[in-house]
Structure 1
Amino acid sequence: MTPDAEFGYELLVCRYAELAWHPSEGPRPAIVSRQLGTKERRWDTLVIEVDPEAFAARRAFGDRTIDSDLLHVVRGAPAEWAWYRDALPDPGYPWRYVRRAVHRAAGRDLIEKRRDGNRIEIRRRRAYPDWVERIVAVENKPDLDRSAADRLAEQLEHDVTTALADEAWLATETTGERVEPALLREMPVEAGILATDFSRGVDADAADVAWHPSDLSPADGERRDAETETLRLEIAERAYGKGWRSFHDTMRPDCRHFGLRRDGRALVPHCAAKDKVPTARECSGSCDEFSPEPPQWRTKGWPIEGGPGKGVERLLARRRERERDRGETVE
C-alpha cells in the first residue's frame, strides 16, 4: 500500500486506468483525470472514453481546456462570416459576456473574428468534433470499512440515479481475500467493483473486476437532454486540460525535499524529509520541513533549466501529453 492511502491510492488508480482501461471489456482509447465534477458531486477519478478520430480533431484546438463560455462560441461558430448574435444560440445571459468570450476565443485562435462597422463577425476555423464517447466515474476507497461503505453507497446511488456518467465504479484495495460481501451489499448493484492490489506497484494486471457495472447510458433511440450533454462536455474538457498529474499545481515542487518516486509503472510525489507521499495540505509553504530550492540550483550548472522543481513539472506535463497522444489510438 502506498503511504498516505487516500491520496496515493487515488494516483495509482488513475495510472492503472491509463494502462488497462477498460478492465472488463478490453482496450479503449481514453484520457484520465481526477477530482472533477459538478456543484453536487465531485469524483475521485474520471475516465473519458474518446472516439480516436474525433479526439485527434479536438487536439487541433490546443492543449488547454475550452471552458463553458468558450464552448458556446466555438461550437456555434458558423462556417461563413456572420454577426455573432445571429450565429450563436441565445445564451440565457447578457450578450456582453458572449462578446468577451468571442474575443477570448479569437485570442486563442479557436475562431476567426472581424469587424464589419459596429458589428463583430465570427467564423469557425474548424468544426468542433463530437469526441466524447463515454464518461466513467470511479470512487476510490482503499480501506472499505462500515462507515466508508455507508458514505460511498450514498454517493454511488447518486451517480446511478442521475446517470450523468455512463458507468460508476468503486475501486478498493484487496487484502488477498475476497472483498467483504456484507460491505459490498451496501453498494448499488449498478455500480462496478474494482479490487486492486498495488503491493507490487502499478501495472495492467494490478486489479480484478469483482462486480461488473451496469451501463447507465440512455437506451437505444433515447438521448440525454441538451443541458446534460453540455454539462458532460464541459466536464470532459476540464479533464482534457487538467489530467491527473496536475497535483504539482497544489504542492511545492520547488522544495528541496520534493521529488517523484516510481511505484511500478506509476510516478507519485515523495517527500524526502518525511519519507512519504505527501498530500496537498501537507506539501505547502507552511510545512515545518519546507525548504526552498537554493538559487544556485536554478542558476549554476544544474542540468534542468529552472531547477529540479521545474523539471518535475515539465516531466509530468510531457507524460500528460504522451497520454493525450495515446488517446488517438487503441494499443
Structure 2
Amino acid sequence: MSEFAFELALCARLERDRDAIVSRQLGTAVHDRRILDTLLVEPGPGFDERAAITSERIPPPAIESDVGPGSARFWKDAFDCHPDRARSLVEWAVDVGFFERERRAGRTYVRQTTRYPDDWFDRIVGIENKPDLGRPGALETQLLTDVTLALVDEVVLATESHVTGAHLNRIPEAVGVWRFDPETGERTVIRAAEPLATDDAGIEIVARDSARTEIRVATAAEKARARRRVAERAYGKGWRTFELPDCAHIAPDDDGLPYCPYKDQIVRPATDCGPRCAGHDPADPPAGTGDSLRAARTPWEPDPAGRTRRQSGLDRYVDD
C-alpha cells in the first residue's frame, strides 16, 4: 500500500475513533518549513462558538488584526500590510462571516461579527506517517525538530512495519509509536507519546548534517500564533482534500476513500487516474460524500448559522 493510501486509511480510522478535527499535510514550523502528515485538533471550551462562525478557515491575519467586535475601524488602519493585501483579507473575512462592514461618509469600516474564541481548541496531536521504517529518510531529524520545537502537544510516529528496539532507540523518547494496519484499521500503541511544553519557548532545527546543526528559537508568543494558524487551517481543510476522478470505475468506500476496483487499491486521483490509465472510463465523478461523513463523525459544523449582521448592499464596498 502506498504512503498516500496508508495516510488516508489512518485518517479515516481516527475520524471514527476520536472526537477531534482530523486534517493532513499541514505546516507546523515557525521559522522554517515542516509538514506533518496528520493532525488531530481536539475541541476546547470555546469550540461551539468557533463552529458557529463558519465552516471554513478564518484568515489568521484577520484574527490578529486590530479589528474587534466593538467599534468598527477604518479598514486600512486595521492591518499592518500593503492596502491590496488588506483589501483581500477584508474580502476573505467578510466572505466567511467573520467581519461585517458599514459605510460612513463614503468610507468602509469593519468589525468582527463575534469575538474570536481563542480557547476553541485544546490539544493538537501531530502524526508522522512512515509505513516502511526500512526507508526512514530524514525521519529522525524531523521528529527531533517536532519535539524540541513543541508546537504540538504530542508527536506520534505511525507505521505498518514491525517496530524493533533499534527503531525505538533512533527516535526521541517523547515520540509515541503506533503500529497501524491500513487493511483492517487495527491500531496498536507501541509507545505512548509524552506531553510537550507548548507554552514555553521552543528550539527549531532549521538545518542539520553530520558536522553541524543550525537552530532558531521560537518564542512562546510565536508558537501560540502558529498553533492558532495550524488549528484554523485544520478546521477549514479537513483531510479529504482529493477530488474523486471522472471515471466510471471509481467506487468510494464507506469512508469516502477513492477505491478503484480496476486497480484493486486506493488510488491517488491526481497522479493515478485520467486518460493515461489503461482502465480509464470517462464518466461524471461520484457525488461527493466527504462533507457529510465529516459532519457525522467529527465536531465540525458544515452549515453554521453564522454571526453576521450585514446591512443590505454594504458588503460590496472596500474601496476607500
TM-score range, shorter chain: 0.7 to 0.9
Q: Deviations over 1:123-154 (max 9, x none)?
A: 22111112121221101122221x41x53112
Counterpart residue number, 2:168: 184
Find the partner of 2:281 among 286, 291, 295. Answer: 291
Counterpart residue number, 1:97: 85
TM-score under structure 2 normalisation? 0.78
Q: Deviations over 1:189-225 (max 9, x none)?
A: 11111122344x22xxx22221122211346899953
Counterpart residue number, 1:270: 259
Inter-partner Cα distance in structure 1 for 2:201 and 2:261: 56
Change (3 A) 1:46 1:274: same
Q: Matched residues, percent identical? A: 34
What residue identity is the alignment partner of 2:272?
E
Counterpart residue number, 2:294: 320
How far is the alpha carbon of 1:61 from its aligned partner? Answer: 1.6
What residue identity is the alignment partner of 2:279?
E
What residue identity is the alignment partner of 2:143?
L
What residue identity is the alignment partner of 1:274?
K
C-alpha RMSD of the superposition: 2.7
**Preserved CA contact (<8 Å) 2:25 2:36:** yes
Counterpart residue number, 1:170: 157
Change (3 A) 1:144 1:221: closer
How far is the alpha carbon of 1:172 from its aligned partner? Answer: 1.3
1:120 aligns with 2:113: no
Inter-partner Cα distance in structure 1 for 2:15 and 2:294: 11
Q: Deviations over 1:267-312 (max 9, x none)?
A: 422112222211231124543332211xxxxxxxxxxxxx5x241x
- The number of equivalent residue pairs is 281
TM-score under structure 1 normalisation? 0.76
Change (3 A) 1:61 1:326: closer
Q: Deviations over 1:155-186 (max 9, x none)?
A: 101111221211111011255xxx21112211
For 2:242, what is the secondary structure of its paired residue?
helix
1:49 aligns with 2:63: no
Inter-partner Cα distance in structure 2 for 1:70 and 1:326: 21
Which structure has more relative contact order (CA 8 Å, sep 6+)? It is 2
Find the partner of 1:258 among 246, 250, 265. Answer: 250
What residue identity is the alignment partner of 2:46?
A
Q: Between 129-138 and 113-122, report the one with greater CA deviation.
A: 113-122
1:210 aligns with 2:203: no
Change (3 A) 1:60 1:185: same
Structure 1 residues 103-252: aligned runs within 5 Å? 103-130=91-118, 131-145=120-134, 147-148=135-136, 151-173=138-160, 175=162, 179-199=163-183, 201-202=184-185, 206-218=186-198, 225-248=220-243, 251-252=244-245
For 2:56, what is the secondary structure of its paired residue?
coil
Unaligned runs of 5+ in 2: 203-217, 302-320
Structure 1 residues 69-84: aligned runs within 5 Å? 69-73=61-65, 76-84=67-75
Change (3 A) 1:285 1:34: farther
Find the partner of 1:67 among 37, 59, 77. Answer: 59
How far is the alpha carbon of 1:260 from its aligned partner? Answer: 1.4
How far is the alpha carbon of 1:118 from its aligned partner? Answer: 4.5
Inter-partner Cα distance in structure 1 for 2:131 and 2:63: 37
**Preserved CA contact (<8 Å) 1:167 1:191:** yes
**Preserved CA contact (<8 Å) 1:166 1:216:** yes
Inter-partner Cα distance in structure 2 for 1:124 and 1:104: 13
What residue identity is the alignment partner of 1:196?
F
**Higher percent of residues as helix:** 1
How far is the alpha carbon of 1:33 from its aligned partner? Answer: 0.7
Inter-partner Cα distance in structure 2 for 1:109 and 1:325: 19
**Preserved CA contact (<8 Å) 2:58 2:96:** no
Inter-partner Cα distance in structure 2 for 1:112 and 1:326: 23
Counterpart residue number, 2:50: 58
What residue identity is the alignment partner of 1:188?
P
